[in-house]
Structures are given as C-alpha cells and as structure tokens.
Amino acid sequence: MAQPTHLTARSGRVLQGTVHAPGDKSMSHRAFILGAMAHGITEIEGLLEGDDVLATGRAVEAFGALTERLGPGRWRVTGQGGFQSPEGIIDCGNAGTGVRLLMGAAAGYGISATFDGDASLRKRPMGRVTDHLERMGARFDWSGDRGLLPAILTGGDLAAIDHVQTVASAQVKSAILLAGLNATGTTTVEEPEKSRDHTERMLRAFGAEVQVVDSGEGWIIRLVGGQPLTGTAVSVPGDPSSAAFPLAAGLIVPGSEVTVEGVMLNPLRTGLFDTWIEMGADLTIANRRQSGGEDVGDITARHSKLRGIVVPETRAASMIDEYPILAATAAFAEGVTVMRGIGEMRVKESDRIALMVAGLRACGVAVEEEPDGFLVTGGTVPGGATVRTAHDHRIAMSHLVLGLAAERAVTVDEPGMIATSFPGFVEMMRGLGAHVAEGV
C-alpha cells in the first residue's frame, strides 16, 4: 500500500481509552541477536515488528540463524551457536541499535560482512563502536569516510579489553560485551553513568555469567570470554519510549484519560515518567508486576496542568529518546522547561535538538537552542505548520501529538518512518479518538 506523503493532526477531540504498548525495541533487537548467537531454539513473544527490528531479523538470517514468525509478535529463532559470512550486504535500515549491536556480535567470529543502512544511518557515527572492536582485534574498512557506513568487517581472534565509557551509551557497551563473549580473556566496561541494562540481563537469561558491580553513579561490568549461549524463551514487555506518545496526548488534550497497559518500568528507562510527575502530571501506575524479567505496569495519564522544570542532567540516559515528546508536552506547560546535558540527541536518527527547535518554532512555540540542550517556554500552542522530520520517527510522532492540542493543525512529512519503532501508531491514536488524517 502506498504510504501517504504527509499526516495531519488536529485538536478538538477528547482522547479516551486503554491501549497496549508495542514491544520494546531495545529488547526485541537483543532477542534476535542473542537467539542467533546461541545454540538451539529461542522463542520470543511480544517482539516489536517494527522496521528496525525486522531488519535485525533479516540480518541474523543472513548470518545463518533461522527465524520463523509463529504469530503476531511470536517468533522462533534457531541459532547455530555462531555467525557465518553472509551473502550480500547487511542492510540495517534506520537502526542504530541494530547495526552497532550486530557489528559487536559479528566481530567475534572469523567472518567478513558489509554493513549498510539508510540515508540517516549513513550519517551516524560508527567509530564509537568500531574503534573499540578494532582494539579487540577486528578490522573495519570503509568504502567512504572513515567511521561512516558502509563498513566492511573482518572479525575473529579477539582479545578482551577494558573500556571506560566516555558517553553513557548502551549501544557501545552492548557491542563491546557481545564481542567480548567470543574474545580471549575478561572484557570490562566501566560506565560513568548507568545506561539501559537489557544486554546484561538477557545474556544471563541465555546462560552467560555477567558480573556487575555498582560503583555508585555507574556500573562496572565484567564478562569472561568463551561462554556459550543457550536458546531460551524471551518475553518482551511494552516499550516505555512508545507508550510515551499516547500518554503525552492524554496529558495535553483537555478532558482526556489514556491508559497504556504492559509498559516496561526498568528504572533506566523511566526518566520521562519521573519528569512528567515533577511537572505536575496526573500519571498513575497500577498493576505492577514482573514480565520477561522486567517490572511492568499499566500507566494512566489524565489531562493535567503542567509546569516547566529543570530536568536533571543525570536523568538524560534514562530518557534520551524521550526528549522530543517531553518537549512537545513542555510546550503546553506553564513556564520554562530546561533540558540540558543531551548533546547525544544530535547524533540520533536526526539532529533531534535542531529538529525539535525548528518544529516547535514553526508551530509558534518559544524555544532557545544551546549546544547540548534546549529550553521550551510553554503556554498555548498556535500550530498551523508543516514540520520537516528528516527521516526521524520520534520527531514525526512528537509533532503529531503536539497537533492534537494545538490551536491549528500540525502536519508532518515522511510519516512512513513511524513504522521504524511504532507500526500501528496512527491507528492506535485514532482508536483513542484522535483526529489524524492523511495529507496536508
């Protein structure tokens, strides 16, 4: 079916209802990759069938695993206990997580592979992963600029390294740990600030021993090389980064009440919810339980009078993908919301600081840009703009949610990119009552 070139969101309708969060993207990538590295069968439920994760599924097939779709979100991966040299190029599409974790996993095997991605992924820095994989003994050749895709990997014969992170990046940490699994010696990753720990948790579920020492602010993670993985059952809970969009709409659209069920509540992912509560949001979490080794709960957002706050910089890693939607809600808050210490936003699918500043300004919101952050002064939002999303799903969804409470309609381009992380987003929002239409 042809994708619409634009989507437009309008205010005037109250949002009501209960929806289920789509599967967590970070865990879905890892379930495919660890399932392929393991011996035997991994059965996954709740997998996010978004474009990024499906690209990782095709990649692990190319590396020799068998993947079978058993039903919606239910997949079986038959791992060979290692990767083979693939035929053809490993196209990771739009997925930073996919390409960086796959490079780490593949580096441990004596194979060669060419990695590539879409126009957005080709602009993102790969050296933050490949420099360390090279220190371990892998080789990367670049057909264009060094550190930018496409990249040709020659893997195998790795030796463990001690790595001290300079940015709090779960992708860098995970790539090194996955390579370390097939390196000689003990790989150590030291984090100055904690980043999401799904790789560590899932490695344990696949039978590896991972030692984690809490150093206060961060973690020191040690992994002995040469440990085999065994296929296992993986249950993927709902993605808090996706749940954020319908919940945000519930907070800013007058008269609304929206519940998202089954949201993962790993404390390294819930910075946005803490921030909203500090801003005065009526956000409640019910039915806390365990699923797939993670805390999950059902979150209800009711229309709230929000006020601007200074978001603690130490929270950045726990909500780095959520600043675009936080900024959209901050546009309706009384006063200034200060978001700093988030320079990493500039190297995501787009320069997310620049894109949010441009989009909000086009919608009549007062925004100040800084090198590593931005400030939003809230109030009423005029809207009435078409926003350029630069191939970035979160920029698109954030502005559509903004449009649901703005005075005039808000349009976004390239809405097909939303399927990167949230296929079914538009249908879900319409089901809650939102006015989202194709076209300008």
Ligand X SMILES: C=C(OP(=O)(O)O)C(=O)O
- Sole binder of ligand X in the list 11, 42, 56, 97 (CB under 6 A): 97
Residues present in the chain in total: 440
Asked if 26 and 34 count as a contact pair (C-beta separation under 8 A), the reply is no
- In whole angstroms, the minimum distance from the beta carbon of 15 to ligand S3P comes to 26
Q: Which does 118 bind (CB under 5 to 8 A by kind): ligand S3P, ligand X, none?
A: none
Put the strands of the sheet holding 282-291 in their side by side order: 16-20, 257-264, 294-302, 282-291
What residues contact residue 350 under an 8 Å CB cut-off, 6+ apart?
120, 389, 390, 391, 392, 395
- Sole binder of ligand X in the list 421, 422, 425, 432 (CB under 6 A): 421
| Catalytic one of 24, 52, 118, 321 | 321
**Is 394 annotated as contributing to ligand binding?**
yes
**Is 321 annotated as contributing to ligand binding?**
yes
Q: Cα(127)–Cα(125) distance, rounded to whole angstroms? A: 6
Decide whether 36 or 158 has the Cβ nearer to ligand X.
Answer: 36
**Phi, psi (5° rounding) for residue 291?**
-150, 130
Nearest to 231 by CA among 50, 103, 78: 78
Secondary structure letter of residue 372 according to DSSP: T
- Sole binder of ligand X in the list 118, 349, 413, 414 (CB under 6 A): 349
Using the contact rule CB under 6 A, the part of the chain among 90-98, 221-229, 359-367, 404-412 near ligand X is 90-98
Decide whether 191 or 349 has the Cβ nearer to ligand X.
Answer: 349
- Let me know the angle formed at the C-alpha of 96 by 246 and 350, rounded to the nearest 5 degrees: 65
What ranges in 168-322 are assigned the alpha helix state H?
170-180, 198-205, 240-252, 271-278
Q: Which does 349 bind (CB under 5 to 8 A by kind): ligand X, ligand S3P, none?
A: ligand X
Instruction: Tell me the two tokens of residue 319.
Output: 């909500």
* Segment holding 100, helix H or strand E: helix 96-107
Paired with 25 in beta bridges are: none
**Is 290 annotated as contributing to ligand binding?**
no
Using the contact rule CB under 6 A, the part of the chain among 95-103, 137-145, 243-251, 411-419 near ligand X is 95-103
Q: Confirm or reject binding of residue 321 to ligand X (CB under 6 A).
A: yes
Cβ neighbours, 10 Å, residue 434: 24
- In whole angstroms, the minimum distance from the beta carbon of 243 to ligand X comes to 13
- In whole angstroms, the minimum distance from the beta carbon of 50 to ligand S3P comes to 12
Is 321 annotated in the active site? yes
Q: Which does 169 bind (CB under 5 to 8 A by kind): ligand S3P, ligand X, none?
A: ligand S3P
Decide whether 174 or 421 has the Cβ nearer to ligand X.
Answer: 421
Q: Confirm or reject binding of residue 128 to ligand X (CB under 6 A).
A: no
Binding site for ligand S3P (CB under 6 A): 26, 97, 169-171, 174, 196, 320-321, 344
Residue type, 247: L
Q: Cα(321)–Cα(76) distance, rounded to whole angstroms? A: 29
Q: Confirm or reject binding of residue 342 to ligand X (CB under 6 A).
A: no
Q: How far is CA 276 from CA 216, 251, 289, in A?
A: 25, 9, 22
- Sole binder of ligand X in the list 50, 96, 271, 373 (CB under 6 A): 96
Asked if 10 and 403 count as a contact pair (C-beta separation under 8 A), the reply is yes
Q: Which does 130 bind (CB under 5 to 8 A by kind): ligand S3P, ligand X, none?
A: none
- Sole binder of ligand X in the list 9, 38, 44, 95 (CB under 6 A): 95
Paired with 265 in beta bridges are: none
Q: Which does 196 bind (CB under 5 to 8 A by kind): ligand S3P, ligand X, none?
A: ligand S3P
Residue ranges of the binding site for phosphoenolpyruvate = 25, 96, 124, 171, 352, 394
> Where on the chain is the footprint of ligand X (CB under 6 A)?
25, 52, 95-97, 321, 348-349, 394, 421
Active site residues per annotation: 321
